[in-house]
Homo-oligomer: A and B are copies of this chain.
């Protein structure tokens, strides 16, 4: 159980690029990183508008002189400091991730990067190589993976509780963009602009989340081929899709599906993953993340609850309060940021950690690869394509 005791000897000196005042995702980065003193926010280039960025940074208790007009200046200036930053989180719109990530790695710093890492597998692999060369940690914020019952699910599958895995159904299907809200909402506007998000909207923005969960739960599964059909129900979004279905054939004969959707009218998130085995199934829904359905064929459905002794030990270590009390997305992110910090510390000490996993650079690469394959299929008449 986490109780605030230090897991990292000294808080990592940390900066953010993006995640400004009105941004959607900036706060959860800060909240997760600084929880339990794993990271300490000391610098930033928080906004595309330098003035707003500085004003905001100061309100975050960052020294004014370390609130930089842009990430390039930040990297240059921080490099001059004795106690300069050690890690940078990137929470800007998608189109900038590649170049910022590259620059940060080249500056010899650890990175936490928002998904998608970039737009092409080629770029992604380039970043992966760079990270390796520079021996730096890259964390990708597939935040839902930090929930404890996901760990429980992972252990159950590894331990054979479900039997042989046959089917994985995934979805992330909200309704908030049922209409062309992008005309009003800046955080949506760039999401449907191919210049900023590249080749895909919902596949990359939504589908990659449950897809990463499937990688966590089923680390050995390999996609053999897939097929994707995508639509732009709000016409002005074409060529970017606001709905997509992906079918996947895995190398062991299992089957997977992903429904990625931003026009699922009236729905909140509806991010779900269901893994079906020969003996039992499990199902998880991100809107009620403390529960896991466990359905053994021929037995009553069971509702597993976070924090309970009957779970696998690995699913209990990240608890911050006893069962029954709902933990939420902030704890899930904190769990990941804690692991990022531990991995960065170990890396700096020249050690490797074997007992933790987190969405690292490979997760970033695989997410980009999956989107790329989906788009290739979709743009080729929604035909099956070999997974590359």
Please list the residues of chain A having a beta carbon within 8 angstroms of any beta carbon in chain B: 1-6, 21-24, 26-28, 30-31, 35-37, 56, 59-61, 162-163, 166-167, 169, 174-176, 178-179, 227, 229, 231, 233, 243, 245, 247, 249, 253, 255, 257, 259, 261, 263-269, 276-281, 286-290, 294-305, 308-310, 320-331, 381-384
Contacts and interface: CB of A to CB of B under 8 A. Distances in A.
A215 B38 CA distance: 38
Contacts of A245: 247, 255, 257
Of A2, A231, A324, chain B has the most CB atoms within 10 Å of the CB of: A324
B3 A324 contact: no
11 contacts: A3-B21, A3-B22, A24-B322, A176-B297, A179-B278, A179-B297, A245-B247, A263-B276, A264-B281, A266-B281, A294-B300
Contacts of A287: 290, 324, 326
Nearest to A302: B300
Contacts of A297: 175-176, 178-179, 265-266
A138 B247 CA distance: 38
B28 A289 contact: no
Contact of A300 (B167, B305, B382): B305
Contacts of A278: 178-179, 233, 263, 265
Contact of A384 (B289, B321, B382): B382
Of A176, A247, A265, A267, chain B has the most CB atoms within 10 Å of the CB of: A265
B289 A265 contact: no
